[in-house]
């Protein structure tokens, strides 16, 4: 187990290093970040000032020196300052990150528990009307574009029926029910695809386990059907859903960009969109790096959890 964790940890470190290279490289392949200072509203900023700003931000140095300087700063927890707002990038991200984590947590709960339970029920009732219904709904959930679903739900539940708020996040001084209502639409849109994935994955795993020899032996010994399903079959069938749980949570964090944009949710996804529009490469690089770290860390936890549940993985 120790060797397995060390090996996965080395892979995670190498992946993080690759992410820093890609993020820095992409930030330098785009337009000149200092173009933000020479837009139409920059009040006649001159070339001398542009050169001073270039020296201030270190953009006049060789690219490899810029990269090493940036990595050293990251190691100290310094993500730089926003070109657009002149604020510390880590402070800006810290203000938005809790909102994204809250939305991701609610969406994860909506995806995991209903998805697994419906997958179990679908497998137990294989070939029934309920099984076909659940599989059809799951297929529709995976095939429906999330951005289209978001707009449709806003139109139906916020505009036509006026049941739920259409956008933004409630303030902390509002009622709990009001705050919760703001989570409903974005969380459902974010959870619909992983929910369908959990349902189909749990169903296929359960069917494989229910047809295995040790389940037949348990039935022959007179073990009750409920104990076979919830104690023996589900425990073994949860290996695959458990493996993707951390990855699903990471995808919620990294994939909330369009959901936060549509619902005007004040998270880091919307921050990334605004930073790209402002050509603020410091903020954009910081957000992408946070996304990458979250994905790698949760992927590492998924690998470790998989090895704990199934010891065979440690020696593969």
- DSSP H or E stretch at residue 61: none
Place of tokens 């190498």: 14
Instruction: 117-121: list long-range contacts, CB under 8 Å, 24+ apart.
Output: 118/199, 118/202, 119/198, 119/199, 119/200, 119/201, 119/202, 119/203, 119/205, 119/206, 119/241, 120/202, 120/203, 120/206, 120/229, 120/234, 120/237
Range scoring the smallest mean pLDDT among 56-65, 120-129, 192-201: 56-65
pTM of the complete model = 0.75
Each residue of 215-271: pLDDT tens digit?
777 777 777 767 777 776 777 777 777 777 777 777 777 667 778 888 888 888 888
Torsions phi, psi for 81 (to 5 deg): -120, 145
Domains of the chain in sequence order? 96-279 (1.10.3720.10)
**For the segment 104-145, what is each residue's pLDDT rounded down to a tens digit?**
888 888 888 888 888 888 888 888 888 888 888 888 888 888
pLDDT at 40: 46
Q: Report the C-alpha gap between 139 and 122 in whole angstroms.
A: 14
């Amino acid at each position: 187990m120790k060797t397995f964790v060390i090996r996965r940890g080395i892979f995670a470190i190498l992946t993080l290093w690759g992410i820093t290279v890609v993020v820095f490289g992409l930030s330098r392949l785009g337009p000149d970040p200092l173009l933000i200072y020479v837009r139409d509203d920059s009040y006649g900023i001159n070339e001398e000032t542009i050169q001073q700003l270039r020296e201030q931000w270190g953009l006049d140095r060789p690219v490899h020196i810029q990269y090493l300087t940036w990595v050293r700063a990251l190691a100290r927890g310094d993500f730089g300052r926003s070109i657009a707002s002149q604020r510390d990038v880590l402070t800006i991200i810290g203000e938005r990150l809790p909102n994204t984590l809250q939305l991701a947590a609610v969406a994860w709960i909506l995806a995991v528990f209903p998805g697994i339970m419906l997958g179990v029920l679908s497998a137990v009732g294989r070939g029934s009307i309920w099984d076909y219904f659940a599989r059809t709904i799951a297929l529709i959930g995976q095939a429906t574009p999330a951005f289209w679903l978001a707009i449709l739900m806003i139109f139906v539940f916020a505009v036509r029926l006026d049941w739920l708020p259409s956008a933004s996040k409630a303030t902390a001084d509002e009622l709990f029910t009001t705050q919760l209502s703001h989570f409903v639409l974005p969380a459902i849109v974010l959870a619909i695809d992983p929910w369908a994935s959990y349902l189909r994955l749990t169903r296929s795993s359960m069917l494989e386990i229910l047809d295995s020899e040790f389940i037949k032996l348990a039935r022959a010994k007179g073990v009750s059907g409920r104990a076979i399903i919830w104690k023996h079959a589900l425990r073994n069938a949860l290996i695959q859903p458990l493996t993707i749980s951390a990855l699903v949570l990471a995808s919620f964090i990294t994939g909330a960009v369009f959901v936060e944009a549509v619902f005007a949710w004040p998270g880091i996804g919307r921050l990334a969109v605004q930073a790209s529009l402002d050509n603020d490469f410091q903020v954009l690089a910081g957000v992408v790096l946070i996304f990458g770290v979250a994905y790698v860390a949760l992927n590492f936890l998924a690998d470790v959890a998989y090895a704990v549940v199934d010891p065979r993985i440690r020696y593969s």
